[in-house]
Amino acid sequence: MKYFFHFNSFFRILSLAGVLLFPGTVLFSQEALTLDKALSIAALNSPDIQRSLLNLTRYRESLNAHKASLKSQFSLDVNPVSFSQQREFDNRFSKWFTNRNFNSSGTFRVVQPILWTDGTVSLVNRFGWQQNLSDFTGTMEKNTAFTNRLYLSLNQPLFTYNKLKLAQKELELDYENANISYALQRLNLEKNVTQFFYNVYLYQMSLNIARDELNNTMRSYEIIKNKVDAGLTAKEELYQAELNLATSRSSVKNQEVTLANAKDEFKRFLGMNLYDSIVVLADIAIPDVKVDLQKAVEYGLNSRLEIRQRQIDIETSQFQMIRTKALNEFKGELQMSVGIMGDDPAFARVYSKPTNNPQVSLGFRIPLYDWGEKKARIKAQEAVIATQQINYDEEKKQIIIDVRKVYRNLQNQLNQIVIARQNVQNAELTYEINLERYKNGDLTSMDLNLYQNQLSEKKMSYARALINYKLELLNLKIQTLYDFEHQKPIVPMEMYNSQNK
């Protein structure tokens, strides 16, 4: 692999030369972006990452809210004033009477959900004061008293699934899935930033090559102009040289516009200010990387987070099956409460003669016939679960296919680099030979321009081959979650953990 470094250094020097030789287009105020710096900026400012983080925050806070709802809930209901006057009929005496009631009350309540049983324990204290007047058969009856009722109650569902635990497990899976999506977004961001980065770099190189081509065309134009002025060559050659020169200048302008547009798109994707001026500095040296295909496949199957996402889909479908089977099910509910009730005109004696108030209620819901609804819904959900299982199996197959494809592309790109390198050498020699022929009058301007274009094309092809190899190497890292260049595994979830420290 050592012979690659000679030609990679050529492109680094060419890129630097563009900065030094053309100060009119590369200002000192420009921000130089390396790939690592671009990735750091995108990790903080990219709109895609920001959306992913907001989605992650949504599921994290939903889970936090559910956990908070499982703790004791304290509430106080206060009714300072309540007044009513009603004319009612007493069936016992077949008489009408008037009842007037004035009261004030407050209720303090502590409710504790029970996660393991899906039940609820409540401690309630209801304190009040009331004044009641009744006009019955001309006799005015009056009662004024303080009242207090303190009781402990239990509400427990029976013979059904635990709704609290199921809801919490679903929220935990949603949060885990959001974490995975964020980690995958970070990996995808690295891939997209790298592609944008190298695209801009290629446009920079294309502009520099176009400028080199313009310089060469200007040299050939001066040669042919001198010959025409000396009467050694026909004027038709000068016209063709002028046309070539105009074409080269137009190509430089086109490349400048294309580069400016690519930089704007790159800055938008990174989340940078569109008015910032940037120049990318890339190292496209090819590292000496050895890839074992079997290990690469194993790394992908053991590490890819998409497999866990498919498992989460299966678990979520199974939770829905639990709910489906609970349709029209036999279930019961147990309600129990124990407490005391006291009343007295004097506040201090409200519990002088307390009364016990135990309550027990047991009820059942017995389905009789549902016309096959439950059975049909279960079959439908079974089809959903089977589909998710197929997706899980297919995800594994796709990972194997993708890793194999990247591996083959890597091997092919190495061959393409060797071919492209040799083509550059041949094109350079061919151009130099034909330039001498042109100087000697043995070649026309049109023919020399073809060799110039061929040289430019081969240089760009070589650069693309190098960059394609770098991109495929990055793709292999994403497909296997293993960095073969540095021989270390990639743990995307650590990206999330480091972001939230």
Domains, the chain, ordered by start: 3-61+168-314+386-499 (1.20.1600.10), 73-114+119-155+330-366 (no CATH)
Q: Model pTM?
A: 0.75
pLDDT of residue 139: 74
Burial of 369 per CB tally in 10 Å (0-12, 13-18, 19+): exposed
pLDDT of residue 265: 94
pLDDT of residue 353: 86
The one-digit pLDDT tens for each residue of the chain (501 residues) are 333 334 444 444 444 444 433 433 444 467 898 989 999 998 888 888 888 899 999 999 999 999 999 999 999 999 999 888 888 887 877 888 888 889 999 999 999 999 999 999 999 999 999 988 887 766 777 888 999 999 999 999 999 999 999 999 999 999 999 999 888 888 889 999 999 999 999 999 999 989 988 998 898 888 888 888 887 777 888 888 889 899 999 999 999 999 999 999 999 988 889 999 999 998 888 888 889 999 999 999 998 999 999 999 999 999 999 999 998 889 999 999 999 998 888 888 888 888 898 999 999 999 988 888 999 999 999 999 999 999 999 999 999 999 999 999 999 999 999 999 999 999 999 989 988 888 887 888 788 888 888 998 999 999 999 999 999 999 999 999 998 988 888 876 554 444 444
Q: How many helices (H) and strands (E) does the chain have?
A: 10, 11
pLDDT of residue 316: 94
Spatial neighbors of 228 by CB under 8 A, at least 6 apart, are 234, 235, 237, 238
Q: CA–CA separation, 500 vs 489, rounded Å?
A: 21
Burial of 336 per CB tally in 10 Å (0-12, 13-18, 19+): middle
Q: CA–CA separation, 27 vs 209, rounded Å?
A: 19
One-letter identity of residue 371: W
pLDDT of residue 29: 60
Q: CA–CA separation, 464 vs 204, rounded Å?
A: 13
Q: Two tokens at 435?
A: 């330039």
| The pairing of beta strand 31-33 with beta strand 278-280 | parallel
pLDDT of residue 114: 94
| The pairing of beta strand 73-90 with beta strand 95-114 | antiparallel
List the one residue out of 141, 98, 106, 111 whose CA is nearest residue 126: 106
pLDDT of residue 494: 56
List the one residue out of 126, 135, 138, 150 whose CA is nearest residue 101: 135
Q: CA–CA separation, 462 vs 11, rounded Å?
A: 10
Q: Is the dihedral of CA 278, 464, 484, 486 positive or negative?
A: negative
**Inter-residue contact 395 to 433 (CB < 8 Å):** no
